[in-house]
Structure 1
Amino acid sequence: MTIPAGQPHVKDDAEAAEESVLPLDDGDIYVCQDGPRDAPVLLLIHGSASSTSSWDLLVPLLTRSHRVICIDLLGHGRSAKPAGVSYETPDQARRVGAALDRLGVKQATVVGHSSGGAAATALAEQRPDLVTALVLINAGPSLDAFLAPQAGAIEPSRWPPSDEQLRQFASTGFTADYQIPQELVDELRALDYHAFTAAMQGTSAYLAQRSLPDRLRGLGKPLLVIFGADDRRWRPSSAADYLAVPDARIEMLPGLGHTPILEDPPRTAAPLLAFTATHAATHAAQGGE
């Protein structure tokens, strides 16, 4: 489906869902909005080797009480994949902020999965006026928490890889018994190799400079950390590192891996919605917009 730049496309099967491609200075950014437009905003930022589609099972559980905005970071999904631009985490966050400005969003609770948690943190650093609270889902707090994947990285000379290679590459993103759907394999195959690797390197550099808990500690933003307790990419016990952030809440999900948003959306949505409800009530009592 081709969507003209800057023009919305309303999905036939969901009256409230609207897709747009927003032209920014260094590339077009794809966004999808769902839920009541006057409801509090939830911004969802995907992780590496992923896109807005990673949220497809979770979004319907959130739209009753939120205006949900999903965004494809530059180099991913249906956003542009230009060469010669920066895919560093602060630059990705800057583009997200610019996209929200184009949409007229003044405040948002920002949810980041995996490396999307780094982009969410960078956005909070850059735009504390915009980000009112943060939810990080299986976002490794520092490079020390990274578990070397069992499947090796796929080299450029082996691209495009076979379905089996892609399933091996993605396997540590889930529990061992999770059946990786063909739709995910096809999406991985469509990745732009340069943009994907550059974005991953950008995340590593961002974490090497300062850990996420250290960055978040001084921001004063409400924080919920959701972690699949059987994560095979980031050491699950590292979730406790976020307790260095004042009043941070940690929600461990036993039996789930690195991607609980796909493995068990209802169990992921429950603490998220409880957190946003509490945050909204506190925000209103303090006279927030």
Structure 2
Amino acid sequence: MRTNHFTANINGINVFYEFHHDSHSSGLSKPTLVMIHGFLSSSFSFRRLIPLLTKDYTVLAIDLPPFGKSEKSKKFVYSYENLARVVIALLDKLSIKRTVLIGHSMGGQIALNVSNQKPELVEKVVLLCSSGYLKRLPARIVYSSKIPYFYLYLKFWLARQGPLKNLLNVVYDHSLIDDEMIEGYTQPFYDDQIFHALTRMIRDREGDLASDILKKIETPSLLIWGEDDKVVPLEIGKRLNKDLPNSHLITYKKTGHLLPEEKPQDVTENILDFIQTSY
């Protein structure tokens, strides 16, 4: 598998992304699989999926600002609508016109925003435990984020939660958690600038797409869920499946929120079947 790392300035912010391709596959003649990670995560969360998918397809994994290795700007607007524009602009810069979007958690909501803004760019969407129906944060929290040094409170709160506690909450089988996983999900937070950017994100995040918008997204969508997801419960998946007019839901028992880590082989088979079948 060949992996190339790049950084590009997209809509005023530096975005890190990776291209993965197996030189023996015919992936270049097929749609590009675009991996979009979740909140407080990065393209690292797809590390088990990517090697399996690149046997047949070219994979583009993006670190959404301010996460992973992308810029952690204090001035960028971190709304989902604007993050979707960044994805669209990056695809345009790379001359990618055929895609299958694969979004995990918050990344699923960004994928839906891309499909809503530019449906002709997206052939299919795969939503892995996608966030859905979240409202904008309460006004008191938005206003509190404008208090000087609020970012220090945010840093303290996240440190108090700790990476291990967070992983225990998102993974059903705790034996999967090892030092490599803990380090991979902790590393982006060594840069203090992320806490400034997250403070800005609290103010900018406008909430998830409403039902009336979801019902107009006709892109074929595959929803895959862990039945023991504590972060985005299965009920959200069932509701999305009902609202998205051209969707199908698959669930896994004894599986939590971190599907790409917990069920890489099964999820890969689901994705490939979905892409290669008329739907």
AA matched with 2:238: A
* Partners of 2:84 and 2:114 within 8 A in 1: yes
- 2:50 is matched with which residue? 59
Q: Is 2:93 aligned against 1:113?
A: no
AA matched with 1:165: G
Using the TM superposition, give the Cα deviation of residue 201 of structure 1 relative to its aligned residue in structure 2, in angstroms.
6.1
- 2:255 is matched with which residue? 256
Using the TM superposition, give the Cα deviation of residue 185 of structure 1 relative to its aligned residue in structure 2, in angstroms.
4.6
* Partners of 1:48 and 1:196 within 8 A in 2: no
Q: Deviations over 1:19-55 (max 9, x none)?
A: 1111123211111111243332110100000111111
AA matched with 1:21: T
Mind listing any 5+ residue stretches in structure 1 that lack a counterpart?
1-13, 145-153, 283-289
Q: Mark the CA change 1:221 to 1:229 in structure 2 (over 3 Å): closer, same or farther.
A: same
* Partners of 1:230 and 1:255 within 8 A in 2: yes
Aligned pairs for 1:107-146 within 5 A: 107-143=98-134
- 2:13 is matched with which residue? 27
* Partners of 1:160 and 1:189 within 8 A in 2: no
Using the TM superposition, give the Cα deviation of residue 160 of structure 1 relative to its aligned residue in structure 2, in angstroms.
7.6
* Partners of 2:13 and 2:76 within 8 A in 1: no
Q: Mark the CA change 1:175 to 1:194 in structure 2 (over 3 Å): closer, same or farther.
A: farther
- 1:194 is matched with which residue? 196
For normalisation by structure 1, the TM-score amounts to 0.79
Query: Which deviates more from structure 2 when the two are superposed, residues 185-194 or residues 222-231?
Result: 185-194
Q: 1:223 aligns with which of 221, 224, 229?
A: 221
Using the TM superposition, give the Cα deviation of residue 269 of structure 1 relative to its aligned residue in structure 2, in angstroms.
1.1
For normalisation by structure 2, the TM-score amounts to 0.82
CA distance in 1, matches of 2:204, 2:130: 15
The alignment-based identity, stated in percent, is 25
Q: Mark the CA change 1:240 to 1:86 in structure 2 (over 3 Å): closer, same or farther.
A: same
Specify which structure has the bigger relative contact order, considering alpha-carbon pairs within 8 angstroms and separated by 6 or more residues: 2
CA distance in 2, matches of 1:160, 1:171: 15
Aligned pairs for 1:31-180 within 5 A: 31-35=17-21, 36-143=27-134, 155-156=153-154, 158=156, 161=159, 165-175=162-172, 177=174, 178-179=176-177
CA distance in 1, matches of 2:28, 2:43: 19
SS at match of 2:225: strand
AA matched with 1:90: E
- 1:206 is matched with which residue? 207
